[in-house]
Chains A and B, each alone.
Chain A
Amino acid sequence: MKRFAGLYRALDETTSTNEKVAALVAYFAAAPPADAAWAVHFLSGRRPKRLVASGNLRRWAAAGAGIPDWLFEESYQAVGDLAETITLVLPASVGSSDLPLAQWVEERLLRLRGEDVDVQREVMAQSWRELDTHERFVWNKLITGSFRVGASQQLVTRALAEVSGVPEGVLSHRLMGSWEPTPEFFQRLMAPDTRDADASRPYPFLLAHPLEAEPATLGDPGDWIAEWKWDGIRAQLIRRAGRTFLWSRGEELLAGRFPEVEDAGALLPDGTVLDGELLPWVDGAPLPFAQLQRRIGRKTVGRKILDDVPVVLVAYDLMEEAGADIRSLPLQERRRRLAALLGTLSAGRLILSTAVPAGDWEAAAAARLSARERGAEGLMLKRLSSPYGVGRRRGDWWKWKVDPLTVDAVLIYAQAGSGKRAGLFTDYTFGIWEGSHLVPFAKAYTGLTDEEIRKVDAFVRRNTLEKFGPVRTVKPELVFELAFEGIQRSSRHKSGIAVRFPRMARWRTDKKAEEADTIETVRELLDNVSGKEQA
Chain B
Amino acid sequence: MSLLRLTERGLYCEAGDFYVDPWEPVDRAVITHAHSDHATWGSRAYLTSAIGAGVLRARLEPGSSIRGVGYGEPVELTGTTVSLHPAGHILGSSQVRIEHRGEVWVVSGDYKTDPDPTCTPFEPVRCHTFITESTFGLPIYRWPSQAEVFQEINAWWRANAALGKTCLLLGYALGKAQRLLAGLDPTIGPILTHGAVERMTAVYREAGVGLPPTRYAGAGQSKADATGAIVIAPPGADASLWSRRFGDRSTGFASGWMIVRGARRQRSLDRGFALSDHVDWHSLLAAIEATGAGEVWVTHGFTGPVVRWLQERGVEAKAVATRFEGERAEVTETSEGELDAYAAPLV
Q: Tell me which residues from 108 to 138 in chain A have a Cβ below 8 Å from any Cβ of chain B.
A: none
Q: How far is the CA of A113 from the CA of B262 in the complex (A)?
A: 29
Interface magnitude class on chain A? 20 to 34
**A312 → chain B closest CB, angstroms:** 42
Interface hits, A68-101 → B, CB 8 Å: 68, 70-71, 74-75, 78-81, 84-85, 88-89, 92
* B residues in contact with A424, CB < 8 Å: 266, 328-329
Q: Is A450 an interface residue (CB 8 A)?
A: yes
Which one of A15, A68, A89, A420 contacts B262 once the chains associate, using CB atoms below 8 Å? Answer: A420
Q: Answer whether residue B8 sits at the interface, using C-beta atoms and an 8 A cutoff.
A: no
Instruction: Report A218-272 residues with CB < 8 Å from chain B CB.
Output: none
Interface string of B266-306 (1 = CB under 8 A from A): 10101100000000000000000000000000000010110
Q: Write the nearest CB–CB distance from B201 to chain A, whole angstroms.
A: 28
Chain A stretch 442-467: residues in CB contact (< 8 A) with chain B: 450, 454, 457-458, 461-462
B-chain residues with CB within 8 Å of residue A461 when the two chains form the complex: 325, 327, 329-330
* A65 lies within 8 A of B139 (CB): yes
Given contacts A13-B270, A89-B139, A458-B330, contact A70 B308 (CB under 8 A): yes
Known contacts A88-B140, A88-B260, A71 near B329 by CB under 8 Å: no
Chain B residues 288-340 with CB under 8 Å of chain A are 302, 304-305, 308-309, 312, 325, 327-330
In the complex, whether A211 has a CB less than 8 A from a CB of chain B is no
Contact residue among B262, B304, B325 (Cβ-Cβ distance under 8 Å from A81): B262
**Are A462 and B325 within 8 A (Cβ)?**
yes
- A475 to chain B minimum Cβ distance, whole angstroms, is 15
The answer to whether B142 touches A67 (Cβ under 8 A) is no
By a CB distance below 8 angstroms, the chain B residues around A31 are: none
Q: Which of B138, B268, B271, B312 touches A75 (beta carbons < 8 Å)?
A: B138
Number of interface residues of B (CB under 8 A): 27
| Chain A, Cβ-Cβ closest to B257 | A423
> When each residue 156-182 of chain B gets 1 if its CB lies under 8 Å from chain A and 0 otherwise, what string results?
000000000000000000000000000
Whether, in the assembled complex, B261 has its beta carbon less than 8 Å from a beta carbon of chain A, the answer is: yes
The yes or no answer to B263 lying at the interface (CB within 8 A) is yes
Q: Given A88-B259, A423-B260, does the pair A79, B329 have CB atoms closer than 8 Å?
A: no
* Residues in A whose Cβ lies below 8 Å from that of B261: 12, 81, 84
* Cα-based distance from A421 to B139 in the complex (angstroms): 20
Assess the A422–B262 pair: CB atoms within 8 A: yes
| Alpha-carbon gap, A12 to B138, bound state (A) | 25
User: Which of B142, B308, B329 makes the CB contact (< 8 A) with A457?
Assistant: B329
Contacts of B260 in A (CB 8 A): 78-79, 84, 88, 422-423
A419 at the interface (CB under 8 A from B): yes
- The total number of A-B Cβ pairs within 8 Å is 76
Complex Cα–Cα for A454 and B302 (A)? 19
Residue A328, interface by CB 8 Å = no
User: By CB atoms of chain A within 10 A, which of B141, B271, B305, B312 has the most?
Assistant: B305
Which of chain A's residues has its CB closest to B156's CB? Answer: A13
**Residue B5 is within 8 A (CB to CB) of chain A in the complex:** no
Q: Does A14 touch B at the CB level, under 8 Å? A: yes
CB–CB A14/B304 < 8 A:
no
A74 interface neighbour in B138, B259, B325, B330, Cβ under 8 Å? B138
> Given the complex of chains A and B, what is the CA–CA distance between A423 and B262 in angstroms?
9
Interface residue SS majority, chain A: helix
In the bound complex, what is the Cα–Cα distance between A81 and B139 (angstroms)? 15
Judge if B265 is at the interface, Cβ distance under 8 Å: yes
Residues of B within 8 A of A458 (CB): 329-330
Give B116-139 interface residues, CB cut-off 8 Å to A.
Answer: 138-139
Measured in the bound complex, the distance between the Cα atoms of B280 and A92 in whole Å is 14
Q: Name the A residues within 8 Å of B309 (CB-CB).
A: 71
Q: How far is the CA of A15 from the CA of B261 in the complex (A)?
A: 14
Partner of A15, one of B139, B268, B325: B268
Cα distance, A473 to B131, chains bound together (Å): 30
A458 to B334, CA, bound (A): 12
* Interface 0/1 of A329-369, CB less than 8 Å to B: 00000000000000000000000000000000000000000
Report how far A417 CA is from B190 CA in the complex, Å.
40
Chain A residues positioned under 8 Å from B250 (CB to CB): 14
Complex Cα distance A67/B306, Å? 12
Which chain B residues lie closer than 8 Å to A420 at the CB level? Answer: 262, 265-266
Which residues of the partner chain B approach A81 to less than 8 Å between Cβ atoms? 261-262
Question: B324 CB to closest chain A CB, in angstroms?
Answer: 11
* CA A78 to CA B250, docked complex, whole Å: 27
A89-B328 contact in complex given A12-B261, A78-B302, A423-B260, C-beta closer than 8 Å: no
Write the chain B residue with the least CB distance to A85: B140
Closest chain B residue to A91 by CB distance?
B142
| Distance A351 CA – B331 CA, assembled complex (angstroms) | 58
- Measured in the bound complex, the distance between the Cα atoms of B302 and A424 in whole Å is 15
Q: How far is the CB of A138 from chain B (nearest CB, A)?
A: 12
**Smallest CB separation, B8 vs chain A (Å):** 16
Q: How far is the CA of A353 from the CA of B153 in the complex (A)?
A: 58
CB neighbours of B308 from chain A (8 A): 70-71
B268 cross-chain contacts in A, Cβ below 8 A: 15
List, in ascending order, chain A residues with CB within 8 A of B259's CB.
Answer: 88
Q: Which residues of B contact A67 (CB under 8 A)?
A: 139
Q: For the complex formed, measure the closest distance between the CB of B255 and the CB atoms of chain A, giving whole angstroms.
A: 14
Q: How far is the CB of A240 from chain B (nearest CB, A)?
A: 43
B307 shortest CB reach to chain A, Å:
11
8 pairs of residues in contact across A and B, judged by CB atoms under 8 Å: A15-B270, A71-B309, A75-B138, A75-B139, A75-B140, A89-B139, A454-B329, A458-B330
Nearest 3 pairs of A and B residues by beta carbon: A422-B262, A88-B140, A423-B328
- Supply 20 further A-B pairs (C-beta < 8 A) apart from A421-B262, A424-B266: A14-B270, A15-B268, A15-B270, A65-B139, A67-B139, A70-B308, A74-B302, A74-B305, A78-B138, A78-B302, A79-B140, A79-B260, A84-B261, A85-B140, A88-B142, A89-B140, A419-B265, A420-B265, A450-B266, A461-B330
